[in-house]
Amino acid sequence: MTEAKDLAPNFRHVRLLLARAKEHPAGEPNEGYDLLVPLDKDGRLDADTWRRHQSACRVRHFTEEGDARIGRLRRKPGGQWYFDYEPGESDDEIGFRLGEERFMTGEYISVGHARTMRTYQVARVEKP
């Protein structure tokens, strides 16, 4: 496992929480993602650092039922970012325009599958 001291200096721990939606009018603080990812100076995913430190880029999806899945941040040849949990593509979650999004507190990020995207709000961004 990668220690915080071994990470590139631009790695950040990002917490995303389910934003307000019809089924959760106040949002849901017990559902979201914890990400360990490199960000550039503008708060966007840093593809160059990711390329050199792919194994350190972690994703943990947690739900209000207490379930958690651990995966990695990946990138398709065309540049699309996604969360990969198991071999194969059936459980992959795609970030909508994730490469253009800014991971800054208060911003919104959409993640999910083609027909079931959900919106999450960046709750915090901090050094690991």
Q: Is residue 103 within 8 Å of residue 14, measured between CB atoms?
A: yes
Give pLDDT, residue 91: 79
Domain that holds residue 51: 4-126
Number of domains in the chain: 1
pLDDT of the residue at 122: 97
For residue 114, the model assigns a pLDDT of 64
- The pTM assigned to this predicted structure is 0.89
Please identify every stretch of the chain with a pLDDT value under 70, giving residue numbers as ranges: 1-5, 114
* Closest to 54 (Cα-Cα) out of 34, 37, 33: 37
How confident is the model at residue 18, as a pLDDT? 93
